[in-house]
C-alpha cells in the first residue's frame, strides 16, 4: 500500500512539473520563448503604420490623427499624423521596395518610400533590413512620389496653464497686429489679378488692385495700422520698401500691392506678460526656431513688446520685427 502511495505521489509531481512549463519542445502548444522581440518605449506607445505593402513601427507615439490633404493640389487624400515624444524610432518591418530583378540587367531592389527633411537635407531611403532610425525634429514625413502619408509632429510639453495664457494673449492682443503687419512682410492681401498696374510701365514691377474691402486706399491701410501701433511704428511700417520698391501704392485712387508670400521659419512661440501697470504692459515673447535656426543664430530668442495706453487707446510702442 505504501509503495502504491509513493508511486502515485511521484506521478502527480511529474505531472505538476509538466503543467508548469517543463521543456517547451515536449509541449507542442507552448508559446514560451526567451527571445525579446521589442523593447518597451520610454514614453507613449508603439504604433504601426501600414500602407499597401509598407509596414512600419514607430515608438514613443503620444497620439495619432487622420487628416485630409490634396494630391498635388487637386485630389483629396487622407494621411496620418503621429505626434511623437523625444526618442521616437522608426522600425522597418517591410519596406515595399521596387523590385526590378525580373528585368534583364536590372538593378537591385531600391527604395519606394523615403523620410523627408524639413531643412532641405537628404532624404533617408526606407530599405528592408535597415537599422531603426531615431526620428528627429528635422524629419517631416514618410513620403512616396512627393506625397507625405505619415507626418511627424512633436508633443508640446508646455504646461497647460501656461499654454492657455499664451494662446489667450496671442488671440486677444498679438493676432490683429501680427496679421496686419504680415501684409508688409510675408502675406499678400487679397487681390484682383485681372486689375494690373505696372509701375512706370516696367515689366517686373507689376502691382495688383487690393480686393480686401477694408483697405480701398493707402489712408485706410494707415488708419488700420494706427489702431494697433504708435504713430512712429506706423510710419516705420508704411515706409518699408523691400528691393527698393514700395509694397503698396495708389493708382487712380485705388490701392495696389505687389504679390508674393513667404513662410516663417519658426517652430513655436510662447507669449506672456512680464510687467503690467495701468498704462503700460510689457510682454515677453519666446521664439523657438528649432531645426530652422541658421548658422550663428540662437535656436531660441526672447523678444519684448511694449503696449501703452495713449489718448485712450492701447497701441504697441515697441514691436520687434526680426523673427517674421
- In the structure grid, which three cell numbers stand for residue 29, read together? 502548444
> What's the whole-number average pLDDT of the chain?
81
DSSP letters for 102-132: TSTTPPPPB-S-EEEETTS-PPEE--TTPPP
DSSP letters for 168-196: HHIIIIIHHHHHHHHTTTT-PPPEEEEEE
Give the pLDDT confidence score for residue 9 in this predicted structure.
39
Q: What is the mean pLDDT of residues 152-163?
A: 86
Band of residue 119 on the pLDDT scale cut at 50, 70, 90? confident
Distance CA 194, CA 134 (A): 50
Cβ neighbours of residue 20 closer than 8 Å, sequence gap 6 or more: none
Write out pLDDT tens, residues 274-302. Answer: 999 999 999 999 988 766 556 666 678 89
Helix axes 231-238, 218-226, angle to 10 degrees: 140
DSSP letters for 50-98: EETTEEEEEEEEEEEEEEEEEETTTEEEEEEEEEE-TT-EEEEEE---B
Pair type for strands 147-154 and 75-84 = parallel
Q: Are 237 and 324 in contact (CB under 8 A)?
A: no
Give the pLDDT confidence score for residue 18 in this predicted structure.
38
Q: What are phi and psi of 20, to 5 degrees?
A: -80, -10
Residue with cell 513688446: 305
Write out pLDDT tens, residues 34-61. Answer: 333 344 446 899 999 999 999 999 999 9
Four-point Cα dihedral 158, 160, 164, 165, nearest 10: -70
Q: Are 168 and 146 in contact (CB under 8 A)?
A: no
Q: What is the mean pLDDT of residues 76-89?
A: 91
% of the chain beyond a pLDDT of 90: 51
Q: What is the mean pLDDT of residues 180-194?
A: 83
Q: Are 125 and 117 in contact (CB under 8 A)?
A: no
Give the pLDDT confidence score for residue 16 in this predicted structure.
41
Give the pLDDT confidence score for residue 263 in this predicted structure.
57
Give the pLDDT confidence score for residue 68 in this predicted structure.
84
Amino acid at each position: 500500500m505504501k509503495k502504491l502511495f509513493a508511486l502515485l505521489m511521484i506521478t502527480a509531481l511529474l505531472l505538476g512539473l509538466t503543467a508548469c512549463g517543463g521543456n517547451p519542445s515536449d509541449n507542442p502548444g507552448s508559446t514560451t520563448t526567451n527571445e525579446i522581440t521589442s523593447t518597451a518605449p520610454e514614453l507613449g506607445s508603439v504604433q504601426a503604420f501600414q500602407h499597401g505593402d509598407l509596414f512600419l513601427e514607430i515608438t514613443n507615439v503620444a497620439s495619432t490623427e487622420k487628416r485630409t490633404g490634396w494630391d498635388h493640389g487637386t485630389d483629396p487624400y487622407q494621411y496620418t499624423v503621429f505626434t511623437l515624444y523625444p526618442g521616437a524610432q522608426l522600425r522597418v518591418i517591410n519596406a515595399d521596395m521596387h523590385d526590378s530583378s525580373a528585368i534583364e540587367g536590372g538593378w537591385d531592389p531600391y527604395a519606394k518610400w523615403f523620410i523627408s527633411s524639413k531643412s532641405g537635407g537628404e532624404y533617408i531611403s526606407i530599405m528592408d533590413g535597415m537599422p531603426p532610425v531615431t526620428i528627429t525634429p528635422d524629419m517631416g514625413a514618410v513620403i512616396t512620389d512627393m506625397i507625405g502619408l505619415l507626418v511627424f509632429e512633436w508633443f508640446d510639453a508646455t504646461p497647460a496653464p501656461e499654454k492657455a495664457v499664451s494662446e489667450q494673449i496671442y488671440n486677444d492682443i498679438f493676432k490683429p497686429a501680427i496679421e496686419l503687419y504680415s501684409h508688409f512682410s510675408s502675406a499678400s492681401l487679397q487681390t484682383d489679378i485681372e486689375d494690373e498696374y505696372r509701375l512706370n510701365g516696367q515689366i517686373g514691377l507689376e502691382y495688383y488692385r487690393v480686393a480686401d474691402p477694408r483697405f480701398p486706399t493707402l489712408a485706410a491701410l494707415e488708419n488700420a495700422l494706427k489702431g494697433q501701433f504708435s504713430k512712429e511704428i506706423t510710419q516705420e511700417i508704411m515706409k518699408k520698401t523691400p528691393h527698393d520698391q514700395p509694397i503698396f501704392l495708389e493708382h487712380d485712387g485705388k490701392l495696389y500691392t505687389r504679390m508674393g508670400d513667404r513662410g516663417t521659419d519658426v517652430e513655436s512661440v510662447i507669449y506672456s506678460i512680464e510687467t503690467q501697470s495701468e498704462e503700460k504692459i510689457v510682454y515677453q515673447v519666446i521664439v523657438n526656431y528649432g531645426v530652422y535656426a541658421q548658422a550663428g543664430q540662437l535656436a531660441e530668442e526672447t523678444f519684448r513688446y511694449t503696449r501703452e495706453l495713449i489718448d485712450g487707446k492701447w497701441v504697441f510702442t515697441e514691436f520687434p520685427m526680426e523673427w517674421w
